[in-house]
């Protein structure tokens, strides 16, 4: 049976008991905002396979939502989430209220610079500061050895990695592959907002990312050339309203010169898109490499 903790005190006691019963056990942690799907389940299963104890958190964190974003209407279904978490093998679920997490408004902020300059860091001001605070608090409460994050939010992985490195948090950040629907749409709790027509047009995201490798391998293709082709492909879907299409060096997320030739660009690149369909903003991405040239590190 999954153990449900709603307060920090309950969580601390549950962890203390488990650690007393089996000294030295390894704890894996999966932070989520709930409305769980197979993407979340894949993180939980990976933690279960690699750790003695798996803790899942479900918390829709107001600090990471902008004033005109979807905090109030973010989908919630606690009973379904707990059933899926248990079926995936989680041992403890932590479900705090906003008041429990933030009895007073935090005066402490966490800002990870540079890796937040572009992508969602640029189009959602303050978002990653809110993520930094909540993930730090959750890490302090759970004290895991390993924490599992989906590559669906590739920039989030870069931010959390940098934060744990910079602040000497003794936690291994484990990035996990994006889980997709059979037709390619990346799973997201926000997919439930989509109308049937938006859902069908949203396929353009995964389709344009899938094409990018072969487009980029054509002779003479530049960074901007690839961005333009992907953007044009997305724009063929009438309901698509592009927030960004960007190609950055991965994992540092540093910009590339627009006229740089892809076949002469070494290392891995992150092609990331954010596109609105109606009121629903979807993100997707793919890691690509074009050059055979290897760099010595
Ligand atoms: P969320 O509940 O959306 O905050 O997501 C919680 C965790 O699940 C994050 O680390 C996400 O990157 C991850 N996640 C969300 N969707 C997917 C997906 N389709 N595949 C893999 N991981 C995902």
Check residue 86 and give its pLDDT: 98
Structure confidence by residue, pLDDT tens digits, 69-102: 999 999 999 999 999 999 999 999 999 999 999 9
Residues 14 and 156 in one domain: yes
Check residue 201 and give its pLDDT: 98
Structure confidence by residue, pLDDT tens digits, 210-235: 999 999 999 999 999 999 999 999 99
- Check the annotation: does 246 bind a ligand: no
Does the Cβ of 95 fall within 6 Å of ligand 1? no
In a domain, 296, yes or no: no
43, 69, 284, best to mutate for ligand 1 pocket (most atoms within 8 Å of CB): 43
Structure confidence by residue, pLDDT tens digits, 152-202: 999 999 999 999 999 999 999 999 999 999 999 999 999 999 999 999 999
In a domain, 205, yes or no: yes
Does the pTM exceed 0.85? yes
Structure confidence by residue, pLDDT tens digits, 166-180: 999 999 999 999 999
Domain boundary among 123, 146, 176: 176
Cα torsion for 46, 152, 260, 256, to the nearest 10°? -100
Domain boundary among 176, 198, 218: 176
Check residue 291 and give its pLDDT: 84
Residues 160 and 242 in one domain: no
Structure confidence by residue, pLDDT tens digits, 230-250: 999 999 999 999 999 999 999
Residues 267 and 218 in one domain: yes
Give percent of the chain with pLDDT exceeding 70.
98
CATH number at 52 reads 3.40.50.620
Q: 247 vs 69, 219, 250, 269, 284, CA distance in Å? A: 25, 18, 9, 7, 12
* CA 33 to centroid of ligand 1, rounded, Å: 9
Q: Which domain holds residue 158?
A: 3-176
- Check the annotation: does 40 bind a ligand: yes
* CA 23 to centroid of ligand 1, rounded, Å: 31
Residue 246 structure tokens = 């960007």
Give percent of the chain with pLDDT exceeding 90.
98
CATH number at 275 reads 3.30.1300.10
pLDDT at residue 297 is higher than 70? no
Does the Cβ of 153 fall within 6 Å of ligand 1? yes
Residues 172 and 199 in one domain: no
Is 127 an annotated catalytic residue?
Answer: no
CB neighbours (10 Å) of residue 5?
20
- Check the annotation: does 195 bind a ligand: no
* 8 A C-beta contact, residue 28 and residue 146: yes
Number of domains in the chain: 2
Domain boundary among 114, 143, 176: 176
168: phi > 0 → left, psi -120 to 50 → alpha, else beta; which? left
Residues 152 and 34 in one domain: yes
């Amino acid at each position: 049976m999954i153990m449900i903790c709603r307060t920090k005190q309950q969580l601390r006691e549950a962890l203390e008991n488990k650690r007393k019963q089996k000294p030295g056990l390894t704890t894996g942690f999966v932070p989520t905002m709930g409305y769980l799907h197979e993407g979340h389940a894949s993180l939980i299963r990976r933690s279960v396979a690699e750790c003695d104890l798996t803790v899942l958190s479900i918390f829709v964190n107001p600090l990471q939502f902008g004033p005109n974003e979807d905090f109030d209407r973010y989908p919630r279904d606690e009973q379904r989430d707990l059933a899926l978490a248990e079926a995936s093998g989680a041992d403890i679920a932590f479900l705090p209220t906003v008041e429990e997490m933030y009895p007073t408004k935090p005066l402490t902020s966490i800002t990870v610079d540079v890796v937040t300059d572009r992508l969602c860091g640029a189009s959602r001001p303050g978002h990653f500061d809110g993520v930094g605070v909540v993930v730090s608090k959750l890490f302090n409460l759970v004290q895991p050895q390993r924490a599992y994050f989906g590559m669906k939010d590739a920039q989030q992985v870069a931010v959390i990695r940098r934060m744990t490195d910079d602040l000497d948090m003794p936690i291994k950040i484990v990035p996990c592959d994006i889980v997709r629907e059979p037709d390619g749409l990346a799973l997201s709790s926000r997919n439930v907002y989509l109308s049937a027509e938006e859902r069908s047009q949203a396929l353009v995201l995964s389709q344009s990312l899938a094409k990018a490798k072969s487009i980029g391998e054509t002779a003479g293709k530049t960074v901007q050339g690839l961005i333009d082709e992907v953007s044009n492909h997305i724009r063929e879907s009438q309901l698509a309203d592009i927030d960004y299409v960007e190609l950055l060096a991965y994992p540092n997320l540093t910009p590339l010169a627009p006229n740089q030739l892809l076949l002469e660009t070494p290392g891995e690149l992150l092609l990331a898109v954010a596109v609105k369909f109606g009121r629903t903003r979807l993100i997707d991405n793919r890691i690509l490499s074009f050059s055979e040239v290897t760099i010595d590190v």
